[in-house]
Chains A and B, each alone.
Chain A
Amino acid sequence: MAIESAFFADQILFIVLPYLSLISFLFVSIRRYFRQTFTYSSLSSQFLENQQHFWAVVPFHYGIILLFVGHLAAFLVPRTVLAWNSVPLRLYILEAAAFVFGVLTFVGLVSIVVRRFSDPKVKLVTSPADWVILAMFGVQIFTGLYTAVFHGWGSSWFAASVTPYLWSLFTLNPDITPIVAMPWMVKLHIIGAYIMFAFFPFTRLVHVLVVPNPYLWRKPQVVRWYGIKRLLRSR
């Protein structure tokens, strides 16, 4: 009986939740982009406080981006990751690097929270949603670092066990067997990620979706024409 209800909970958390979160992520982000385009902004507060900003925001962003890329790589190219890890030294390097980026993110996050609490102007432009995402990041980084320390070689077992599970979700043929046996801290990390994705489009995190990309290729000057002339000119 107990086993069955645990299995039921796992099904809710690792099958239903990810789909719900994906739907929320896609649907709300897109809807918000078209319905409330104006609200897509990085909402930078550097203008209000320019010193602590650097030491908080830069480590956080570099840390979190590299961690994200790491997770993405294990998901997209698990074989390459496993092949890389087959040499112990390379495995150590990867694990150490991941841990360092985790710590970097953690330091950045703490500085961000301190800055948002201590500077009255920055505090003013901090919304409840901001506190929620900061807390979520806190949980993710804690569970992530804990996993890195106490359940080592994550880069390998992620690629070997979590990736198949994630792919099973994407191919609409969910198979949670590799997940159920995971330590609960790892489970927490995965569930936290789903909740973050679900909450993502309701927060300032949407700025991630509009990071500039055409900039690198476009010409320096931009001219816009209206009306008939625009049509004439496009010939």
Chain B
Amino acid sequence: MNVRSQISMVFHLDKCIGCHTCSIACKNVWTDRRGTEYMWWNNVETKPGTGYPTKWEDQEKYRGGWEKQDDRLRLKSTTKFRTVTDIFHNPSGASMDDYYEPWTYKYADLFNAPEGSDQPTAMPISMVTGEYINVEAGPNWDDDLGGSPVYAANDPNLEGLTEVQRQQLFAIERLVFFYFPRICNHCLNPGCVAACPSGALYKRGEDGIVLIDQKRCRGWRACVAACPYKKTFYNWSTGKSEKCILCFPRVETGQAPACFHSCVGRIRYLGVLLYDADRIEDVARSEDAGLIDAHRSMILNPHDPAVVEAARQNGIHDAVIQSAQQSPVYKFVKEWKIALPPHIEFRTLPMLFYVPPMSPVMASSEEGMVKSVSDDFFHDIEQARVPLQFLGNLFGAGHQAKVVYALKKQKAIRTYRRALTVGDISMDVARRMLTEADCSPEEAEAIYNLTSLCTFDDRFVIPPAHREEAIEMMLDPHEHRASTGFGFVDAPKRGL
């Protein structure tokens, strides 16, 4: 057992209201610079939809993630040999067209336009060239277009859905969608790290945050191709690749990352998971159907004395172990099993988990009439308006079982809480539903509390970073006085 600690995340999709506050918080802090305008380290997609970059889940197009070939894992985007021969032109390289050309508006024209009979307009101009552009796509172009034949109908997750199910998803009055906020998953078996020809990408040993060493990156863009979530980006201005850094300067000082902190729906949870690093390769090689279980099984119980001992042996600080014991992520993922990794079939072992959304249940239409809730408010999960296969493709490697389990449990808890507070459902029914959903009343209360009544400190259990143990601190601190951060920092200036 080789215990390591990982700062992990849970996004509760039932709570996301699609306000994009998270994306804006991130953009303002990190990607408001030349060359990064098009990057959204945090973005919120409408599902079904094509997402950002367009159809990122289609790995026949982008060739991200890992492939299993006769029990061996290999990157889908490249091999060691091809990395060398393709170094001049990356055949799976995404281009700006796959994202969008960033633009702004000529606001000054609103003030400076000469007097005339028309209203002055602020024309869109490209943030790359500064020329006028005809805006044809954007990072969130299909926002709320759940039923769109242009966007939603091209969602790769619709694979395996019957014609009837598709109809059901797109029928005008039953049209349904939900939001899917995405950041880097800080995976255990990251494709980006494995693909980097320069070895510039690395996972931090202490907390598992995946970073790109800006000094070692040479702009080969192998990481951009290899990340199946398309969460590494190429800064075309500095010639370096960049990605979500999980706001490590904030995390190290005990603050939640910007997107977590600002989340209006309070859908985001952050905490430590302890895992067995010796099992990474084995787990990543398991069969599709067993991937989720294997992934869960490598996450260790932080209350188990043997695990605690092994963690100590491995140099994990007591404070971090304590933090792992209080981790909300551990509860969602391991104890309650209602948070699932996105597209685990890409085999990067993501450490961001999603609580799948209950479909909107408030109203449905029947024979042209809008039928409101009352009697079958808690209709059957199988009749969910988002077909289970769709959610299974997204969160279950194509299998529905884990999604059904998570939804059943959530539904039982709602019923239970309703029986408690409203009383229009009998407690017997509620309890039976709980038992069927593999959930005790205590667990139901705990899930309810952490879902609905959670405070800031419940949601974010951030381990102390112990920067005092960092090698930089072993050097003479006076030497680094008044310099930016630790050590010397190069100005991020494009080379000649």
Residues of A within 8 A of B (CB): 36-50, 53-54, 57-58, 61-62, 120-121, 124-125, 127, 129-130, 202-204, 206-207, 210-212, 214-216, 218, 220-233
Contact = CB atoms under 8 A, between A and B. Distances in A.
Contacts of A53: 89
Interface stretch (B217-225, B369-377, B390-398, B425-433): B217-225
A47 B131 CA distance: 19
16 contacts: A38-B240, A38-B492, A41-B239, A42-B219, A42-B239, A43-B219, A44-B220, A45-B236, A48-B96, A210-B218, A212-B197, A215-B196, A221-B189, A222-B202, A229-B469, A231-B471
Given A42-B239, A220-B194, A58 B202 contact: no
Given A41-B219, A229-B315, A57 B490 contact: no
A76 B471 CA distance: 44
Contacts of A229: 205-206, 315, 469
B218 A42 contact: yes
A124 B128 contact: yes
Interface SS of B by simple majority: loop
A136 B219 CA distance: 24
B203 interface: yes
A84 B97 CA distance: 50
B310 to A, nearest CB: 15
Contacts of A124: 128-129
B93 A46 contact: yes
Nearest to B188: A221
A48 B95 CA distance: 6
Nearest to B99: A47
B234 interface: yes
Interface residues on B, range: 35 or more
Given A212-B87, A212-B198, A222-B201, A41 B240 contact: yes
Given A38-B215, A46-B93, A227-B472, 12 more contacts: A57-B88, A121-B129, A202-B496, A215-B196, A215-B197, A216-B84, A221-B193, A226-B205, A228-B315, A228-B469, A231-B471, A233-B315
Contact of A223 (B194, B203, B217, B474): B203
Contacts of A62: 88
Contact of B93 (A38, A39, A47): A47
A221 to B, nearest CB: 6
B203 A222 contact: yes
A47 B193 CA distance: 20
B129 A204 contact: no
Contacts of B214: 38
Interface string B183-215: 000000110011011110111111000000011
A142 B215 CA distance: 36
A227 B474 contact: yes
A211 B96 CA distance: 25
A203 B129 contact: no
B280 interface: yes
Nearest to B280: A221
Contact of B205 (A46, A206, A223): A223
B151 to A, nearest CB: 23
A43 B494 contact: yes
Given A120-B129, A221-B203, A36 B236 contact: no
A15 B304 CA distance: 74
A207 B239 CA distance: 11
B135 interface: no
B469 A203 contact: no
Interface in B441-496: 469-474, 490-496
A10 B236 CA distance: 44
Contact of A226 (B88, B218, B469): B469
B495 A43 contact: yes
B237 interface: yes
A76 to B, nearest CB: 22
B471 A226 contact: yes
A215 B198 contact: yes
Contacts of A210: 198, 218
B379 interface: no
Contact of A46 (B215, B218, B221): B221
Given A207-B218, A224-B203, A224-B204, A232 B315 contact: yes
Contacts of A40: 215, 218, 495
Given A42-B239, A58-B88, A212-B197, A129 B496 contact: yes
A37 B490 contact: yes
Contact of A44 (B193, B234, B492, B496): B234
Contact of A36 (B189, B202, B206, B495): B495
A128 B197 CA distance: 28
Given A47-B236, A223-B205, A233-B315, A212 B280 contact: no
